């Protein structure tokens, strides 16, 4: 039986910016291989103008918020595997970005999300990004470890729920993944893209009041 990978999860810093971009890039060949290239496209994130700089800025904003609670309630977690005992090297396995009591702006603009009024929701954690690093060999289980960490964070903060939205194309495979993690579908949505088919997604919720 294969040995179970143990992940250490910490708060990411600006020094992790390049590693996060590398992790984004590593997902694209995998997504294409399973027919899910519609989720994030085919252009490497490292080749998208300003993406690395934006990631570094987001990490710096996260640092400021954690120290002062001023600005956007932004936190990025890093899952890593500790290297051989003879070294102190660590291997990145995945990342998760969350916000407290705030959704991504594009969700507030979704007129077809009618099951709930997002503007009236409070006391929740929003999982904006969850990705694993396919290039390091330790991606399996990293997503689950990060979801569980976000859940524990929400419980420690006394939150009522964790929300996440995801791409719902390719037979809703990603939706099924989140449902297996304990999320329940709230509503499907779609938003138009210029000269492209609409990006279809699903908003999901994990109830923390019964955890």
Mean pLDDT of the chain: 92
State how far the Cα of 116 lies from the Cα of 204, in Å rounded to an integer: 11
Whether the CA torsion 179, 208, 199, 114 is positive or negative: it is positive
Q: Which residue has the tokens 């955890």?
A: 211
Per-residue pLDDT at 136: 85
CB-based burial, 56-88: b 16+ in 10 Å, e otherwise: bebbebbbebeeeeeeebbbbbbbbbeeeeeee
Q: Which residue has the tokens 């939706």?
A: 175
Strand partners, 124: 161
Over residues 60-110, the pLDDT tens digits come to 999 999 999 888 899 999 999 876 643 557 889 999 999 999 999 989 988
pLDDT tens per residue across all 211 residues of the chain: 345 678 999 999 999 999 999 999 999 999 999 999 999 999 999 999 999 999 999 999 999 999 998 888 999 999 998 766 435 578 899 999 999 999 999 899 887 788 899 999 999 999 999 999 998 888 999 999 999 999 999 999 999 999 999 999 999 999 999 999 999 999 999 988 887 888 999 999 999 998 7
State how far the Cα of 141 lies from the Cα of 189, in Å rounded to an integer: 28
What are the strands, taking DSSP E only, across 101-183? 124-132, 161-167
Where exactly are the structural domains of the chain? 8-207
pTM of the model: 0.93
In 3D space, the residue among 11, 27, 7 whose CA is nearest the CA of residue 90 turns out to be 7
* CATH number of the domain located at residue range(s) 8-207 in this protein: 3.40.630.30
Per-residue pLDDT at 5: 76
């Amino acid at each position: 039986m294969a040995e179970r990978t143990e992940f250490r999860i910490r708060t990411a810093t600006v020094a992790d910016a390049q590693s996060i971009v590398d992790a984004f890039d590593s997902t694209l060949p995998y997504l294409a291989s399973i027919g899910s290239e519609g989720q994030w496209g085919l252009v490497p994130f490292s080749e998208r103008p300003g993406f690395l700089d934006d990631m570094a800025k987001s990490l710096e904003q996260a640092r400021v918020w954690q120290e002062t609670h001023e600005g956007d309630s932004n936190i990025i977690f890093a899952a890593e595997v500790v290297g051989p005992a003879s070294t102190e090297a660590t291997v990145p396995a995945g990342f998760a970005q969350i916000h407290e009591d705030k959704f991504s702006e594009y969700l507030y603009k979704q007129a077809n999300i009618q099951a709930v009024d997002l503007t009236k929701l409070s006391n929740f954690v929003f999982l904006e990004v969850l990705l694993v690093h396919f290039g390091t060999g330790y991606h399996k289980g990293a997503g689950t470890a990060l979801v569980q960490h976000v859940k524990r964070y929400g419980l420690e903060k006394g939150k009522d729920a964790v929300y996440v939205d995801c791409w719902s194309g390719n037979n809703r495979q990603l939706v099924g993944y989140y449902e297996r993690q304990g999320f329940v579908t709230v509503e499907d949505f779609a938003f138009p893209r210029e000269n492209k088919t609409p990006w279809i997604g699903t908003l999901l919720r994990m109830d923390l009041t019964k955890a």
